[in-house]
Amino acid sequence: MDRIRLVGGNSLNGEIPISGAKNAALPLMIASLLTDEPLVLENVPRLADVKQLERILENHGVDIAVHGRRRGADQMDGQRMTFHAGEIVDTTAPYELVSTMRASFWVIGPLLARMGEARVSLPGGCAIGTRPVDLFLFALEQMGAEIEIDGGYVVARAPAGGLRGARITFPKVTVGATHTALMAATLARGTTIIENAAREPEIGNVARCLVAMGAKISGIDTSTLTIEGVDRLHGATHEVLPDRIETGTYAMAAAMAGGDVLLRNARPEHLQAALDALSQAGVHIGVEERGIRIARNGNGLLPVDVETQPFPGFPTDLQAQFMALMTMADGTSRIRETIFENRYMHVAELARFGADIKVEGQVATVTGKPTLKGAQVMATDLRASVSLVIAGLAARGETIVNRIYHLDRGFERLEDKLSRCGAEIERVAG
């Protein structure tokens, strides 16, 4: 099994291209199931989760093509891919495919809307909490679906004539269920209103793709989405937006190691809460035409308290990275996790660097130290694993991050992007 080896102490200087957002690319790929015409997606990241979802979609009958790199393109630019679900050959998403990635469960919405039936395994993914699918099923039931659980599978059937429009009011903000309800509603009869919808930029990106495919959606980027169902959707070409979580991760890496890094293509409006926290910590944030510049040259880090919240609040997917940064702040910071109940597994691994972190319930208290020491550490989930890389960039001596398949699920060529900017980092084949 591959590992990452790094030696801390080098500042980061240069430019890091931000890849397409995993959390937009996956539902956009799934949206291809809604039409029998080709959907072309640009700026698709090269990730393990993308490859896994390709296998799932191919199982349903989707033909997938990867186009060659355009002349003059950077080798780290995203892929251009075509997804053509001309004929759905199987409405079952089997356990062996769905169990490794939670987002693959979202195929239930398009399959049900287009084919009138779906049989999808209960999902897997990172072990960061139970993350039940009850709100997914609630939304589909509001649209008339009949649902039962059979042998670890969700079996869903649409009524005669297909799904029907409904008013869906989520009791709490849920990204996955918003995506699923939105996609299913595009082909439902009548009007669907989704209240308390998640407002993450990735949902807006998917909604705009659906509009390009012929969907009628209003209220994009707000907490109330109105969808007027149509008889069919057609093909389109759409670009995956830049990954705000990757942006925040490299911003915190540059803040941790020091230096001056331009995050090319990054959009500040997609992670303002995280940028505000970095600014409070004493990091220089500069918004430029080509992206966001992160700089910290000589000045120490100040402690900052954060609380994870749905967008536009501080993202739960940046909580581990920010905790790593705070381990070297001059003082005590407090981090409250409100989204997932089991997302502090990285604390024990950060402690191996010498970090002083105490957890009580959903609150982690971090007492900063002037230095960390490199260590052998183990990745526990996608975002936690990259927090260990961030800590290793500033730690004295060598750090080995084991079980990095988690990293490959969500970060494209991480070691290449960091080494371009001066980090001493390499992948070691296992």
Domain ranges of the chain: 3-18+242-428, 22-239
* Annotated binding-site residue? 102: yes
Whole-number percent of the chain with pLDDT over 90: 85
What's residue 41's pLDDT?
Answer: 98
Is the CATH code 3.65.10.10 the one for domain 22-239? yes
Contacts of 418 (CB under 8 A, 6+ apart): 12, 16, 253, 389, 393, 425
Sign of CA dihedral 371, 375, 379, 385: positive
* Annotated binding-site residue? 330: no
Instruction: Name the pTM for this structure.
Output: 0.94
**Edge-to-edge strand order for the sheet containing 224-228?**
167-169, 191-195, 224-228, 216-218
User: Residues of the chain whose pLDDT is less than 50?
Assistant: 125-131
Domain 22-239 in the same topology as domain 3-18+242-428: yes
What residues are labeled active site? 126
Q: Which residue type does 125 have?
A: G
* Annotated binding-site residue? 175: no
Write the CATH number of the domain with boundaries 3-18+242-428: 3.65.10.10
Contacts of 336 (CB under 8 A, 6+ apart): 305, 306, 307, 308, 362, 363, 364
| Kind of pairing between the strands at 12-17 and 259-264 | parallel
What's residue 70's pLDDT?
Answer: 63
Between CA 156 and CA 141 the distance in angstroms is 9
For residue range 159-205, what is the model confidence (pLDDT) as tens digits?
Answer: 999 999 999 999 999 999 999 999 999 999 999 999 999 999 999 99
| Kind of pairing between the strands at 79-84 and 424-428 | unpaired
* Annotated binding-site residue? 275: no
* Annotated binding-site residue? 267: no
Element (H, E) at 305: none
